[in-house]
Amino acid sequence: MAETLMFNALREAIDEEMAKDPTVLVMGEDVGHYGGSYKVTKDLYQKYGDLRLLDTPIAENSFTGMAVGAAMTGLRPIIEGMNMGFLLLAFNQIANNAGMLRYTSGGNFKIPIVIRGPGGVGRQLGAEHSQRLEAYFHAVPGLKIVACSTAYNAKGLLKSAIRDENPVLFFEHVLLYNLKDNLPDEEYYLPLDKAEVVRKGKDVTILTYSRMRYHVLRAVEALEKEGYDPEVIDLISLKPFDFETIEASIRKTHKVLIVEECMRTGGIAAELIASINDRYFDELDAPMIRLSSQDIPTPYNGTLESLTIVQPPQIIEAVKKLVDNKF
């Protein structure tokens, strides 16, 4: 076991898959000589050359379209968004082409693309650099959506995403790159469609993902001292949801709290609530609660920024409300 930072875990995943498969390549702005905006591809161009670590112009729509074409011809491109918010400029290519071509071609083409990069609310990065694109793309058919949260799952999930025959949106939170974790010396892969039960409990099911995993765990630490026993599930797979894991937890706790950094309107929690109501309504002993970011562009001001996203005291209050039946 070796202690590794998350950005290095992601780099290891790319390096290992590029070494195994000559069809794997990386393209994006400054991914080659500069090594990526958060150094996930640092020095890989020296090992694999400029054509497999392809520095592109600042033209997201164009190089995403080029990656779709490359995938159709048998390559396995990894697109790095310098910031995931910039990939809104490639929405057409991701939705109308990457997501749909395997279907609209009658299965004649596979689109094995990974679209990855930093996103989420950072520290005073401003509105355009604080996007949470999981909600934007959640309704697009044909896409898989994954949000890593630890160095361990980041590496295993990215390796699986690179090998997948479908387009995978791979979300990395900008504030988690320096997290440390012990990684196995041997090679490993993790399933793209499975949630992780982070903490077992019996009082309430807390569904969360990405950076909010750590806000939830901070809240749970305080709640444990007061005798509360929450179950914490890191969704990891945002599309499709792992309903097997979610169902098992709901049948045990009968209460659900969803904590997300996504916006409240049309967010991941909104879809989860609708799906849980459809599937497990009779298992619920209380209305579900969702804690989401406010529906406003993220302020640059640090104090205002922190007020727009969920904080541990709000999670503590919501758990007590659910468990103590104080509605």
Q: At 297, which CATH number? A: 3.40.50.920
Q: Which of 183, 207, 230 is the last residue of a domain?
A: 183
Residue range 303-326: mean pLDDT, rounded: 94
- 78 located within any domain: yes
Q: How many structural domains comprise the chain?
A: 2
Range of the domain at 215: 196-323
For 32, the token pair is 């080659």
Same domain flag for 318 and 226: yes
Q: Among the three residues 183, 208, 242, which one is the final residue of a domain in this structure?
A: 183
Could you tell me if residue 189 is inside a domain? no
As a whole number, mean pLDDT of residues 227-245 equals 98
Whole-number pLDDT of residue 19: 97
> What's the pLDDT at 235?
98
- pLDDT higher than threshold 80 for residue 1: no
Q: Which of 183, 217, 232 is the last residue of a domain?
A: 183
- pLDDT for res 327: 72
Would you give the end-to-end CA distance of the chain in angstroms? 47
Which whole number is the average pLDDT over 217-243?
A: 97
Q: Are residues 32 and 176 in the same domain?
A: yes
* Rounded-to-integer distance, Cα 100 and Cα 51, Å: 27
Tell me: do 215 and 150 sit in the same domain: no
Specify whether 124 is located in the same domain as 163. Answer: yes
122 pLDDT exceeds 90? Answer: no
In a domain, 191, yes or no: no
The pLDDT mean for the chain works out to: 95
Same domain, 222 and 283: yes
The pLDDT tens digits for 175-212 are: 999 999 999 999 999 999 999 999 999 999 999 999 99
Same domain, 118 and 157: yes
CATH number of domain containing 173: 3.40.50.970
pTM of the model: 0.95
**Residue whose entry in the numeric block shows the structure tokens 């903490």:** 199
| Residue 283 sits in the same domain as residue 157 | no
239 in any annotated domain: yes
Question: Could you tell me if 35 and 168 lie in one domain?
Answer: yes
188 falls within a domain: no
pLDDT category, 129, cuts 50, 70, 90? confident
Question: For residue 313, what are the CA distances in angstroms to 191, 220, 307, 309, 318?
Answer: 33, 10, 12, 12, 9
- The catalytic site residues sit at 60, 129
Same structural domain, 51 and 119: yes
Residues 136 and 179 in one domain: yes
DSSP designation for 299: P
175 lies in the same domain as 232: no
Query: Residue 190: inside a domain, yes or no?
Result: no
- Residue with token string 């490639």: 90
State mean pLDDT over 150-157.
98
Flag whether 119 is in a domain: yes
Q: Tell me if the bond preceding 191 is cis, omega within 30° of 0.
A: no
Domain check: are 9 and 143 in the same one? yes
43 within some domain:
yes
